[in-house]
Amino acid sequence: MPLKVLVIDDHPLVQEGVSAALESLADDVTVMAARDAEQGLGLAAENPDLDLVLLDLALPGMSGFNLIGKLHERLPSLPVVVLSALEEPENVRHAINAGAMGFVPKSAATRVLIEVLQQVLEGNVTVPLALQSSGPPISHALPGATGAAPSAAEPDVALLTLRQLEVLSRVCQGKTNKQIATELGLSEKTVKAHVTAIFKVLGVVNRTQAVLVARRVGMITS
C-alpha cells in the first residue's frame, strides 16, 4: 500500500531518520518535509492525498500545539502524530486535546514509532506505554483509553450511509482497514475515510469505542 507522509520538523536529521523508519510501514513511501508550520500547512493543503502528518512541538513561528489545531480544523480526517523531545505529561495531554492522534518521544526506539503509526493509521489514538506510566495518568488525556465509550448524547446513527454501516459492521468484527477494503472492493484510503466519518457520527475516537457505542445503541448484539 502506498503511504504519503508529511514531516514538519526544522531538523534535517530528524526528517531523514523518519524517512528511513517509514520504509518498514509500506512498500511505497513518499515523505514530504516542511521546516515550519507555515510551510507545513501549505504542503498539507496542496496534497489532499496525505495519509499522515508527523510534527514537532518546538517549531519556528507557530507552535506545534497551534499547528495541530489548524490541521485538525482544516483537514479533520488527516491523522496527526507528534514526534517531540517535549515528552512531559502535560505536553502529551495538550497535544491529544488539540487533536493529535498519537505522541512519540524523540528518545523512543524506531519500533515504538512504527507501532504508534500503525495504530494511528488504523484509526486509534495512541501513546506509548512508557509515557502513560510516567507522572499522572496520560490515559486521562485519551478519550476512552480504558475502553469505555464517552458519556454523551446518543449518536444519530441515521446519519451513517449504507456503505458506512457495512464498514462499521466489519470494524465490530475486529477486521482491519486492509481486510475491510478487500471484502468491500474499496481502497484502504476510502475505508479510512469511512472509519473517520463513522467515528465523528458516533462521537468516538477509536475502534474500541465505536464497537461499544454500536453495541449500546443496539446496532450489534454480541
Task: Note the pLDDT of residue 36.
Answer: 92
pLDDT higher at 119 or 140: 119
Q: Give percent of the chain above pLDDT 70.
A: 86
Looking from the CA of 217 toward its CB, the CA atoms found within 13 Å total 18
Task: Note the pLDDT of residue 136.
Answer: 47
Q: What is the reported pTM?
A: 0.64
Q: Quick one: average pLDDT of 80-104?
A: 88
Q: What single-letter amino acid sits at 90?
A: E
Q: Quick one: average pLDDT of 154-161?
A: 80
- Does pLDDT of 148 surpass 80? no
> Please, what are the domains in the chain?
2-141 (3.40.50.2300), 157-216 (1.10.10.10)
Looking from the CA of 122 toward its CB, the CA atoms found within 13 Å total 20
